[in-house]
Amino acid sequence: MKQNILTDFIKCGVTGWCLEILFTGVTRHEKCLKCETSLFMFPIYGLAMLISPMKKLLGRHSAAFRGICYTCGIFLTEYTTGKLLRQFDRCPWDYSNAPLNIDGLIRLDFAPLWFGTGLLYEKILK
pLDDT value of residue 126: 83
pLDDT value of residue 2: 63
Measured distance CA(28)–CA(32) in Å, rounded: 10
Contact criterion met (CB below 8 Å) for 48 and 19: no
Longest CA–CA separation in the chain, Å:
45
- Average pLDDT over the chain, rounded to whole? 94
Model confidence pTM above 0.85: yes
pLDDT value of residue 3: 66
Tell me the β-bridge partners of 101.
107
Enclosing domain of residue 105: 2-124
For residue range 51-110, list pLDDT tens digits in order: 999 999 998 999 999 999 999 999 999 999 999 999 999 999 999 999 999 999 999 999
How confident is the model over 27-32, as a mean pLDDT?
Answer: 84
- Structural domains counted in the chain: 1
